[in-house]
Amino acid sequence: MPVTINGDGSITGLAVGGLPDGCVDADTLATNAVTTNKIANGAAVGTKLGSGSIIQFVVGSGGGNQASGGCNATASGTTTTNTNDVIDAYMTFTPLLSTSTIFVLISTGCSINGNYATFYIKESVSGSTIGQTGWGNFGGAQSLEGLSFTGVHKPGNTVQRTYQLICNQVGTPTRYINYNAICQMMIMEIAV
């Protein structure tokens, strides 16, 4: 098809990719002409950025729909079988690509006067545990320590989900989650 410059200033007959490389620069593009949505839906995220590239990175600390802080969030006397001792530390996240890997990092503080606890990162859509670590004090004296651990998830879709910090305490000693610490959560979506 021949290239035609029309009387109204439009050009017809130009094939996709028909412009020579390097002839369109940043100044030629309109402000905000390329959006995140265009990048994600155009598959540029997975192909142009390359495997291992970070597509999204979000950090939460404080209240509301993100990782929650606060000191002395007490929880005592939990049972040895409860794996749903929900701590108010969560983030809602929507992957841009179904092929991505999601990496979650949680940092908090904990104090316990005996025995131990298991910390989990639960994902809301499947209900699966994507990260887990043990923590405790078998000596019986009050202990205060920082705690950081990770989880890895391959959701396989772009459905919005929540990543939640959950703690299961073994035994009945007094325990303080987020003790003298603000819980922080970081979520990275990584291209595969």
The count of domains in the chain is: 1
Whether pLDDT at 167 is above 70: yes
Residues near 161 by Cβ (< 8 Å), separated by ≥ 6? 92, 93, 94, 123, 124, 125, 155
The helix/strand/coil state of 182 is coil
Percent helix, percent strand, percent coil in the chain, to nearest 5: 5, 40, 50
Position 11 scores a pLDDT of: 81
Q: Which of 7-16, 17-26, 102-111 has the highest mean pLDDT?
A: 102-111
Whether pLDDT at 83 is above 50: no
The domain that holds 143 is classified in CATH as 2.60.120.1340
Q: Calculate the average pLDDT of the chain.
A: 73
Q: Is residue 124 part of a domain?
A: yes
Element (H, E) at 158: none
Residue-range definition of the domain harbouring residue 108: 53-190
Q: Is residue 10 part of a domain?
A: no
Q: Is residue 84 part of a domain?
A: yes
Of 172 and 125, more confident = 125
